[in-house]
Amino acid sequence: MNDVLLTLTWLTPLLYGLLLLWRQDDRLVVWAPVTAVPALLTIILTPLDTVLVYDWLLLGAHFIFDQTAQIFLLFTAVLWFLAAIFAIGYMAKDPRRPQFFGFFLLAMAGNFGLIIAGDMVGYYLWFAVMSFASYGLVVHTGDQEANEAGRIYIILVIIGEVILFAGLALLYFTSGGVIVGDYSRLAFAALDPEPLTNFISLLLFIGFGIKAGVVVLHLWLPLAHPAAPVPASAVLSGAMIKAGLLGWLRFLYPLQESAQWAEWVLLLGLITAFYGAIVGVSQTNPKAVLAYSSISQMGFIMVGVAAWLATGEAVGAALVAVLLYASHHALAKGALFLGVGFAGKSRGAIIALLLPALALAGLPMTSGAVAKAALKESAYILPPEWLVETLLGFAAVGTTLLMARFLWLMWQSEPSAKQPPRSMWGSWAVLLVLTAALLFVLPLARTAVADSLGVDKFWPSLWPVLLGIGLAAAAIRFFPRTISLPLIPPGDLIVPLEWLGRRLIGYLSHIERLMAGGEARLWALILWLVAGWRPLSGWLHQLELRLRHDLYVVGGILLLMALAIMLTIFV
């Protein structure tokens, strides 16, 4: 029974998604949410530490269900299930609704598959399925904004996949390690020399960091979320962004007890938390504000990852803090994004958004207070403790400002008499209840709940919210025009990067014209200036002309280069 459930967890949405893309039948859409039911049953019925092995698949496919997989699958399956129900009503009049659900279910299958994947090949393949299927969600509307967001998204996805493949390939061929999981450490923990371990780990950190939205690697997030339909944005931000986090937890074991790596991850996490808040409050699109909020919240989670690396414990307070914070953020952010679907339709829905917004800010007695209590408790090992706690407090002020900005933008939307379908209301109401209550009933969170309810934790959770509300009120009162201006465009760093890219392409095109037109022998001039050896430059010029007209020579050179790289890896 356990083997069947683990298999159906990824197989059901995969097959049904392919069926929807093939048939394009709108009548099949109504059954799409049912494909998440096997994942929900797996959470309830499958015992911990269950292992399923298919020796005939790939290099030996392993599926595992440990504590980490259980918690990730819990909030992921719940969010996908409710978002699918919400999407049926939200996309009711979309003529391409079957196509949307086809990509939606393929991304769901990839998300579920990577959570229970117990080997690096399987994780990589499911990660790729989720990432590439999500492209169909980002560009679904087909307008200019969606196409531009899709272009940036797919570029970063390909870059991330290449970097991730390089890291995993080096890991496999240098250590022979295939299996992952809390019960079976990766073999590359014993890699020698240490620089090789650090290099592989850096590749993996960057590859997963693109999906996790780490600052500088985050560029796709604030463009993809506003462009995608609301249900897709909810799972992109609530569930799929956590795939990068899970990759860190699965593959960065050798960095544990490394003070240097823990400090770097801590620093990067704090920068990400503040950067997302600062840029997010300048946005004029509610979904862009939420996208930058996700970036900021992943910075909070990275503080927990830093504590997990510093402790060296496979299962400990730091890992529990990361799991709880990820669960809290997934549900709260999913509720906020789905709430955007009610913009202009119900003032009551906008008021209801206060619940997940205050939870995300960490108001006492909310799930956010529980998650942040666990995070601060695990961060005691990160020096200096008082500084980390203080910075987390001010980062929470930034979260409050983001939520105030989001609610203010939602309130500015024009009210409408048209009411959304009941399926949208019902799924959203369930998600709101889970956002408020799940962490208080989750066995893993009992200690964190008790800590968050302590008198000594009340004020540290309250003052950032009060300060953030005060600053937001002052901005609305004294700078009403300024807060309506788009100070920083979504994608922030994309603008200067594209400008530099255009300048570089223009410069290279100019060089190409000079060389092709015979107006100047550029390479000859450079070599003459540097080395004064004109015969060499002439020989290089003749070689270039030959390569341009002899594709077989070029192909042979590329083949030899590929063989050399393969020999380097295998030998």
pLDDT tens-digit map of 167-226: 888 877 776 555 654 433 444 444 555 667 778 888 889 999 999 889 888 888 888 888
Taking CB atoms within 8 Å and a gap of at least 24, the contacts of 94-99 are 94/229, 96/140, 97/26, 97/29, 98/20, 98/21, 98/23, 98/24, 98/25, 98/26, 98/28, 98/29, 99/20, 99/21, 99/24, 99/136, 99/140
pLDDT at 549 over 80: no
Show the tokens assigned to 203. Answer: 């590749």
When pLDDT is cut at 50, 70 and 90, the band that residue 555 belongs to is very low
Direct distance between the N- and C-terminal alpha carbons of the chain, in angstroms, rounded to an integer: 43
Show the tokens assigned to 512. Answer: 């190409």
pLDDT tens-place string over residues 265-323: 999 999 999 999 999 898 888 999 999 999 999 999 999 999 888 876 656 788 899 99
Lowest mean pLDDT among 47-56, 278-287, 492-501, 548-557: 548-557
Residue reference for tokens 């998440």: 36
- The mean predicted confidence, pLDDT, of the chain is 81
pLDDT score, position 336:
94
pLDDT tens-place string over residues 432-468: 999 999 999 898 888 888 888 888 888 888 999 999 9
- Can you point out the beta strands (E) in 479-571? none
Return the higher-pLDDT residue of 347 and 547. Answer: 347
When pLDDT is cut at 50, 70 and 90, the band that residue 148 belongs to is confident
Show the tokens assigned to 357. Answer: 């917004």
Return the higher-pLDDT residue of 241 and 559. Answer: 241
When pLDDT is cut at 50, 70 and 90, the band that residue 512 belongs to is low
